[in-house]
Every structure is written in structure tokens, then in C-alpha cells.
Structure 1
């Protein structure tokens, strides 16, 4: 449970932070080859995760990231979906609002933290919740990158409760029920934010 919470929280915080900064840069800051960069990120959606699992494992092995929290967290931080979704929300913020902040002496960081993030809170909440759920339920990468049972997450740890000599269905069912409680509570608490983030396509006002 601790490993699952720790990994999921770290992945969620860093993924949303990096995706928000990348989306803001591609949405509001001028630089060369902006369109090419956007299509490069967009092309990441065309590649299934299973297709890069072998080179990803080799890179993690060469960097000595296997059997570590870093190995569980770092490969999950790149999320093209989060970047594209947040960029589409940032596009809905009027440029006149940003120019007024610049006239008052506000810099890029102030615009990002005090204007863009608060106005797009529903989108950020939605991406955070979806990222947390994805990390919480992730099985393939932890299964390949971790062999130390002290680093097992719940999707890996639950099968170890099943004995190969006897059929004990009680323990796995109990643990599965317990592991689903955080996700259910997360949805109940942030239901409005999830619905807003999924339904809105821009900023109204």
C-alpha cells in the first residue's frame, strides 16, 4: 500500500507539473518550430506503450534504475495526453488577459502560476486523478522493473498472496477490495472536478 501510494503520488505530481509547463509553453510562448514540437508530442499517442517497453527496460538497466523507486516513477512521467489536453485548455485563456498582466509588471512565471493554473483548475484536477488511477493500476512496468518484494506495488503484490499449493480466494479478494477503496474515495471527493474537466473544452467567461 505504501509503495503504491508513494509511486502514484509522485507520478501524479510530477506528471501534471511537467505537462502543465509544457502545455503552457506550447500554447502561449512564442518560439521556433512550435507546430513541429506539438506534432512531435502528438505523435507520442500513436506509439503504444508495449512497443517501447524493451528499449525502456534497457535504458533503465543502463542507468541502474531497476529495483528502485526512481525506476518506477521516472519512466511514467512523460504523458503526451496530459500535455495536449492542458494545452487545449490554455489556448482558451484570452491573450488580452496575459498582456494586461505583463503591462502590470508580471513575468512569465507569475502568469503561469497565478493566471493559467487557477483558471484551468478543473483540467488539472482531471489529469491528476486520471494519472493517479493509471499509476495505481499499472502492472506491466513494475512487473518488469522490480524484483525486490519490498518495492512491490499492489498490482504486483496481490498475486503473491495466492498459494500455488492451495486455493485461497479470501486474501486476494480482501486485498482487491481494500486497494479499490482509495480510487472510489478519490472519485467521490473530486467528482465535480472530473466532470468539469472532461466536459469543458475551453474557458467560459
Structure 2
């Protein structure tokens, strides 16, 4: 299959030349562009998530041979979560190569955290299917760089930490309520309120609902712990 200039440029940024470039094309095809004879990247995303998980688990074990499971688990979660995958995708400008339907493109899909994270996982799977586990491992370790050694000792995301704090006190999990939404459809801004059953609340505003939830959780955790 002939390579386009766009595919060649992306291969250079990824550091992997595909023997089967159709795998990379599929990894870049969002479900909004799927059609008979044109597969989207959802199945590759499923596989790539598992490949990434194994690479990160191996890397963390090798990086800290004395860490307990309780120390490793939050570091692992920080390295494989969608936000981290999206950050890596932005570094290689993956968004510019995504194949999106018109509505998704008009709504800012090339910048959406979820789409970028999913596509990054799909690309990992594409490399795995194209050249095997070692090639996928090399790709992940190269693109994730020193994130493995820089990940915090306690890298639990704020929502997880707040939930654990609540459960330790016999409370149900916190609730997250969208209290406002503004901005144009292609660049919405969300205001989310995190609520505990005991009555404490905190709000945060961000351009992605997931980010607003995390920031609201962090604010509420700081409020109830005095942090």
C-alpha cells in the first residue's frame, strides 16, 4: 500500500516504519469515519491498552525493585490513564493525522483528550501487530520517555484519592455534577461540582469534563484534609 506524505511524516515522529501501513491508517480512523470496508480504531484501542499496560508494568518493576504493590499501582495508573496517553499523542502531533467525520472535526475532535488517548493506544496496537511486542515496547518506552522515573511516589489521581478518603470514613463515593456549560460546541467549557455525602463541595472549570472532575476532586480533597 502506497504511503502518503502524512503517513511518512507520522512514522518519522513515531520512530517506526510500518511494513503494513494500513494498520497505522486504521489506528488513525475514528468511528465517525467508519464505513463498509473502512475499519475504525476501536478494536486496536482495546488491544493497545493491554500492550501499554504490560510495558508499563514491566518498566515500573525494573525501575524500583523494592516497591510494594501498593506503591506500584498508583504509579501504573498515572502512566496508562487516558490523560497521559493524550499528552504523548500531542507530543507527536497525532491529532493532525486523525481521520474524523465532519461533525467530530467541527467539534474540535483533533484536540479532544479522549480521542487522542484512544488513538495513541490504537497506534501502540498497530505497531504490535506490525512488528511484535518488542517493537511496541520500544515505541512506548521511547515516547513515554522519563515519565516512568518521574512518576510521583503516590501518583493516585485526585478522584481516586478522594474516593478512598470517603470510603475510609464509611461514606459512599463522591458525586460529580455538571453545574454549568459554556462556550461554543467545538470548544465547550465545563463546570463540575464534586460532592460528598457529608455536605462538603468544591467546583472546578475546564475545557474537558474529565479534567474538571479531577480538579474539583483535588479542590475538595484539599478542603477536607486541610492540604
TM-score range, shorter chain: 0.3 to 0.5
Higher helix content, 1 or 2: 1
Please report the TM-score for the alignment, with normalisation by the length of structure 2: 0.32
Q: Which has the higher contact order (CA 8 A, sep 6+)?
A: 1
Please report the TM-score for the alignment, with normalisation by the length of structure 1: 0.34
